[in-house]
Structure 1
Amino acid sequence: MLIDFPPPAKLVAFIIRMRLVFVHPDYTFFALFGYYVTIILFKQYTQERNYFMIMSKNELQERYAAFIEDATEEEQNVMEEMIRGWEGKRKGQYYSFVGSWLQTNRNWKDDETYEVTIPLHKGLENPLSMVHGGVTATLLDSTMGGLANEITPEGKGSVTLEMKINYIKPGKGETLRCESKVISKSKSMIVTEGKVYNDDNQVIAFGSGTFYIINL
């Protein structure tokens, strides 16, 4: 839906009322010029956006069909994992698309340790055939942030304020598991630590995070 812009006469009246025209006559020209440029750009953006919104479902179906027809086994496996994650989100298994992308399995290991495990597949790897560092960082953030959110009072949430990560070993295997514990907690901030383990229970990365408590 396009915004109903006021006619130029109203804009001129507003400029005069604000005494801009008496401060400098050129302001009127620049104001009108900027006004029309904004209209042109906004209309172009809206038309393009509406086009893609209307065509997106049909285009996606056609693109998926064409992609699957020529897909390699590796590409099919990655697509299968992505769809499995999206299906899980639809069922309420994951809180966000990031969670569905990682297919996070969350639980309390004990009274102090919050744990998140993710399955590994080719879609999470870098060109060196190991887990991308950004995936490891997201796992740490999700686990430490998940712990912070678990212990905030009702009606409150937490957002990442700062995070530090040290990478020790390459991420390989079937799964990665991250454990997190609280270091300190105040009324406004929670500091946590986390460690990421591979299938052999070796630490491949560790980090700490500060999370700011907000009202929901």
Structure 2
Amino acid sequence: MKEALRDTFEKVLEKATGEDLTVLSQMLNGLAKKQSGHENTYFKDLFLMEADFREGECEVAIPVTPLIYNTFSIVHGGVTATLLDTVMGVMANRLLPPGQQAVTSNLTIHYLAPGTGKFLKAKANVIHRGTKTMVMEGIAFRDDGTKIAHCTGSFFILKLK
């Protein structure tokens, strides 16, 4: 397996453009962070997500890189949805007591402007907090402050097993 990967890696490097190298670097750096025990999943580090928590507030930012482009060289809508789902889910889970977790049950997203610039930032807040569900609101912005998406999300509250 390692030998086959080495062969593939060498072939990829031979033909790599600057953009290819940027994407490959982002992916390898994310993998290295995961291997170092920094995170227990690949997801956060693959997208270079940075989270900031304050009392009652959560914010997640990601750099805009070719890895997250769609065919028009703007941020893929699914990545924007992922960013919003992440910020709302992180916020929901931070509010729960030990022994509980929140998982997404529904997302409704309204795209307002293209995802461009150097980074995207999303913020979340609570609309409703019950004993079995939570409803969150998320807003995503470009680095110039333009709102690019508005989202609401419902989350089931589950007991950890």
2: CA distance between counterparts of 1:141 and 1:94? 18
Q: Is the 8 A contact 1:94 1:104 kept in 2?
A: no
Matched with 1:65 is 10
Query: How far off its partner does 1:95 sit?
Result: 4.1
More strand by share: 2
- Mapped partners of 1:141, 1:62: distance in 2: 37
1:215 aligns with 159
Aligned to 2:61: 117
Say which of 55, 64, 70 aligns to 1:126: 70
Moved segments of 4+, more than 6 Å: none
Match of 1:96 in 2: 41
TM-score (norm 2): 0.94
Residues 149-176 of structure 1: CA distance to partner in whole angstroms, max 9, x if unpaired? 1111101111101110000000001110
Which residue identity is paired with 1:96?
T
Distance, in Å, in 1 between the alignment partners of 2:76 and 2:55 is 31
Could you tell me the percent identity over the aligned residues? 34
Segments of 5+ residues of structure 2 without an aligned counterpart are none
Question: Could you list the per-position Cα deviations for residues 40-72 of structure 1 after superposition, in whole angstroms to 9, with x for gaps in the alignment?
Answer: xxxxxxxxxxxxxxxx32211110111112211
**Aligned partner of residue 131 in structure 1, secondary structure:** coil
Is the contact between residue 178 and residue 194 of structure 1 (CA under 8 Å) also seen in structure 2?
yes
1:157 equivalent in structure 2? 101
Task: Classify the secondary structure of the residue corresponding to 2:72.
Answer: coil
Corresponding residue of 2:20 = 75
TM-score by length of 1: 0.71
Counterpart in the other structure of 2:87: 143
CA separation in 1, counterparts of 2:49 and 2:73? 21
| Structure richer in helix, relative to its length | 1
Structure 2 letter corresponding to 1:135:
V
**Equivalent AA in structure 2 for residue 74 of structure 1:** E
CA distance, structure 2, for counterparts of residue 60 and residue 170 of structure 1: 36
Q: Which runs of 5+ in 1 are unaligned?
A: 1-55
Give the residue type in structure 1 aligned to 2:89: G
Over alpha carbons, which structure has the higher Rg?
Answer: 1
> Could you report, residue by residue, the CA deviation over 1:92-143 in whole angstroms, capped at 9, with x for unpaired residues?
43442221221111111x3222000111111100110100000000000011
CA RMSD of aligned residues (A): 1.2
Partners of 1:139 and 1:208 lie apart in 2 by 13
